[in-house]
Each structure stands twice: as structure tokens, then as C-alpha cells.
Chain A
């Protein structure tokens, strides 16, 4: 195993402020302040997480609903900033957290490829180089100049996946997206991810499917109510996960 640390999570905690009712207007806020009813309930979505993910590793994250898996992924992707602790990322990263986030429905697929590429931080030159690959992988063919508001959700996801994986990232973050599209495309996505793993991409995978995790990952972690319950090699981790359930 390569020992270069790609993702280094040190003592990370994330806090959400839960108000009993969500206040989103100035009027409500002032009324609450005057009536002295402004309470915040603190909720720690992640508690003191320590984790190192090495180069070339496929790392699975397991946990029940609400365990903090998505919060952890978003923190790694830089969407959320930890309240305590720090995260260091070494290398380029493609988050497959939601496919096609940032598509504009009024624009055509062609225009969206460049827009979404820019969202992911790829340069225009890179996108021009990869344009044909993206079109052929997404199998959109003649629909390339159609505004994507007319697309089916499967086409949407196909395009999103093709763009995000077109420029070989060093770290790939995958959050339960392999359940999109028909089974043929799912197979294709799986193949593509396996291919990327072979070429040395570090993958962080969240899934509820233990089989999928077992099949793909080398190592993994289990989150439980925001805390790290266990980090281990994948087989013993899955055994532990089953024993947790029972």
C-alpha cells in the first residue's frame, strides 16, 4: 500500500445550530429577539473525526441514516467547513455528491458541459479536449444541442457522471449515485470507477449497499451518530457492521 496521505482529517467536528423553528426573515428574527425567544440548540453532526486516506485506496464509509456520512463527504469536498479541527487534501478532487448540480435547464447539453466543467474547476481547454469523450460516454448523441430541461432524469445523471469523471481526478468522492440510470448505465459507471481505481485514483465511497462496499473497497469506516465507531480493513469492518445491527 502506498503511504502518501491524500486526505488527512484531523480531529474534525461539525456543529449545526438547530432553531426550534427555522427563522428566515428579519421580521421573525426581530420579534423573537424582542420576545427573548431566540434559542439555539446545538447539534454535533460530526464529533472528533480522525481519518487518513492513502493514495490509491478505495475507502468505504458505512453508517445508518443520520450517522453523518453525507456531512463527512461534504466536509471533505470543501462544501462545509469544520468548526473544530482541520482537513488537508492533496490532489485534485471530483465530488460525485449530486450529479448535475449546477446544470442550467435552459441551456443545451453542450453549453452545460462547459458550465459544469467550470463548476468543478476544470479549465475550458480541458473541457474542449474531453468534449468528445463526454458526449460518447453519456450516449446523448443527437440530443447534445437540446436544452436539458427536456431531458429525462436518467439522461441528466448520465451527463453529470460523464462530466465529473472525464478529467481524471486524483480523488473521487462518490455518494450513492450508482443507483441512477438504467442497469446498463449503472454497469458502465461501475466499470468506469473500477478503471479509475486501477489507474490509481483514490476513491471515497458512501453506500448503503454492503455488497457494493465489500466488492470495491479496501478499507472503510463506520460512523455512528457522528462519531467514528470503527476503522478497519473491509471484511472485518463489514462483519462488525452486521454485528452492530443485531
Chain B
């Protein structure tokens, strides 16, 4: 328990740094753009328009409110992809700091996931705009959608911790992961309905963690249903499993980082 208290004390000491790093990333991102923060709103909207033109016109999926269906999956996947990719490179790109000063190292992946979460917050405004435009009335149950975002956050943090410790030792993980992310996008029902998947491949969808987070989000935010216990427990166990594994790997490896950067 004493050990835990000392970790907590250390975390509180560097809480300010965490906030500084997140706000630094936001500032730097919009430093030289005229539209500034507005981009966070605009880019998911533009992506949604492109994807919905391609898929609703070309493939003619039979989904009610396709634009809304699409943007629900899309902003969650964008968050996932951004958070994990940035967390993966966070230790390597902060090499100067890791080598020169003592900082609890998990701060770096954590700050990247938090930064992406802030971006996700802006994307939610885009989502609301799409809903208004599609004439969908959100129900009060939509508030439960927050839980799916929290589950996803923990999942991304866990995965980010694993990836960031691996990428210190093996830089080519970064290239592999960008390929993996693309593949992962196609096996996630973002722009297609799950019923088009042939029965023999359905297991792939079911073994994809993102499927559950996105389903949770759509069930609550888009359809206004209450999330059932089964979905909650699946999401909870996936996210915490990833988090605990991530924490374990990171904790075991972190003292060696400085020798490999």
C-alpha cells in the first residue's frame, strides 16, 4: 500500500506536466492554421461526407440514417487509431526528455491518449451537427454513450502502453502498425452493417474489441437504447485486460528505455 501511495504522490507531482503536454500538443497542432480549432470539427465532417458518398451511392447499404451510422463508428475509430499511433511513438519522440530528466515515463503515452480524447470531444460536436442535419432526436439514454468512450479510452491506453514499450526496442513496429490499423479498419463495422458479413467470417468481427465499443456507442447514442449488462461486462473486461497487460509490460521494460533511445 505504501508503494501505491508513493506512486500516487509522484503522479500528483507530475500532474501539471500531463496537462502541459496535452495543451502543448493542442497548441502546436493549430499553431499555423487559419481555421485553428475549427479543423477538429471540420475534418471528421469532411471525412464523413466522402465516406458516405462513396458507400451510400456506390455500395447502397441498406442502413437508415447512413451518415449518422457512419460518423458514430468513424469518430471512435479515428480516436482509437490516433491515440494508439501517437502513444506508440511517444517514448521515442520524447527521447531527449527521457534521457535528460527524470519523469515517470507513462506520462508520455498517457498524454497522447488524453490529447486524442480532447480531439474526440470536438468530433462529438460534428456528430451532433450530423444528427441535427439528419433529423435524429437524441434520447436521454445517449448519455450512457460516455461509458463506451471511457472503456475505449482505457483500452487505447493499455494498447498504447504495450506499443510504446515495444517500439523503443523495435522501431519497425511503427510501420507494421500502420498496416495493421488499415486492416483493422476493414474488419470493424464502421461503414458497413454487420449483416453483410457471411456467417463463416462472423467470428473475426466478434473477436474484434472495437466492434463492442462501437456497438455500445451506437446502441446508446444513435438508437437511444439502454446498454445491457452483457455489453457492459464485455467492454469492461476487454478494456481492463488491455490496460493491465499494458501496465505490466510497460512497468517491466521502462528502466531499459533510456538505454535504447
Contact = CB atoms under 8 A, between A and B. Distances in A.
Dominant SS among interface residues on chain A? loop
B172 interface: yes
B122 to A, nearest CB: 20
Instruction: Name which of A24, A80, A117 has the most chain B CB atoms within 10 A of its CB.
Output: A24
Interface string B6-23: 000000011011011100
Given A26-B172, A118-B16, A102 B28 contact: no
B258 A102 contact: no
Interface in B224-255: 255
Given A115-B24, A118-B16, A24 B169 contact: yes
A98 B173 CA distance: 30
A102 B102 CA distance: 11
Contacts of A115: 20-21, 24
A25 interface: yes
A123 interface: yes
A77 B101 contact: yes
Given A24-B260, A106-B31, A124-B16, A97 B100 contact: yes
Contacts of A85: none
Contacts of A101: 96-97, 99-101
A91 interface: no
Given A16-B259, A29-B170, A79 B100 contact: yes
B27 interface: yes
Contact of A111 (B27, B101, B259): B27
B176 interface: yes
Nearest to B20: A118
Contacts of A121: 13-14, 17
B171 interface: yes
A104 B258 CA distance: 20
B103 A119 contact: yes
A106 B171 CA distance: 25
B258 A97 contact: no
Interface string A132-154: 00000000000000000000000
A104 B19 CA distance: 15
Interface in A2-43: 16-17, 24-27, 29
A244 to B, nearest CB: 30
Given A104-B24, A107-B28, A111-B24, A80 B258 contact: yes
B125 to A, nearest CB: 26
Contacts of A156: none
A79 B28 contact: no
Nearest to B31: A106
Nearest to B171: A24
B255 A114 contact: no
Given A29-B169, A104-B28, A115-B21, 19 more contacts: A24-B169, A24-B260, A26-B170, A26-B172, A77-B101, A78-B102, A79-B98, A80-B258, A95-B101, A101-B100, A101-B101, A104-B24, A106-B28, A107-B24, A107-B28, A118-B14, A118-B16, A118-B19, A122-B16
Q: Name the 4 nearest CB pairs between A and B, nearest first.
A: A78-B102, A101-B100, A118-B17, A26-B170
6 contacts: A79-B102, A101-B99, A104-B24, A111-B24, A119-B97, A119-B101
